[in-house]
Amino acid sequence: VMTQSPATLSVSPGERATLSCRASQSVGTKIAWYQQKAGQTPRLLIHTTSTRATGIPARFSGSGSGTEFTLTINTLQSEDFAVYYCQQYNNWPLTFGGGTKVEIK
C-alpha cells in the first residue's frame, strides 16, 4: 500500500513544495512520480526515485529509499499546480498512492 501525504498542500507561487510517499513494505528505489493537471492525462515526472523524465525541469527532484520517498518542487510555477501521484514498481501488483493535490495558497 502506498500512502501519500498531505492530501492537499497549499503553496504560494515561488515557494517550495514537499510531497511525501510512504510504502507499507520496502520498494527499494523503484518509485515513480506523475503529475496530473485538471482534465489532463498523467505525465511521468520521475522514475527510479530521482531520475527526471525527458523534458522535466530541474526544479522537480525526488529522493528516498526503502519505504519513505519525497518529491520536492522548488520555486513553484503556476503550471505546477496539479495532483501528484507516486507509484511503486518493486512488487506486483503495481500500485499508486492516493495523490497529493498542490493548490495555490
Please report, as ranges, the residues that interact with other proteins according to CB under 8 A: 30, 32, 34, 36, 41-44, 47, 53, 85, 87, 89, 92-99
Q: Which three cell numbers stand for residue 75?
A: 520555486
In the complex with other proteins, the residue whose CB is nearer, 43 or 59, is 43
CB of 102 to other proteins, least distance (A): 15
CB of 49 to other proteins, least distance (A): 11
Q: Are 71 and 21 in contact (CB under 8 A)?
A: yes
CB of 70 to other proteins, least distance (A): 18
* Cα gap 18→37, rounded to integer Å: 18
* Cα gap 76→49, rounded to integer Å: 20
Q: Which three cell numbers stand for residue 66?
A: 526503502
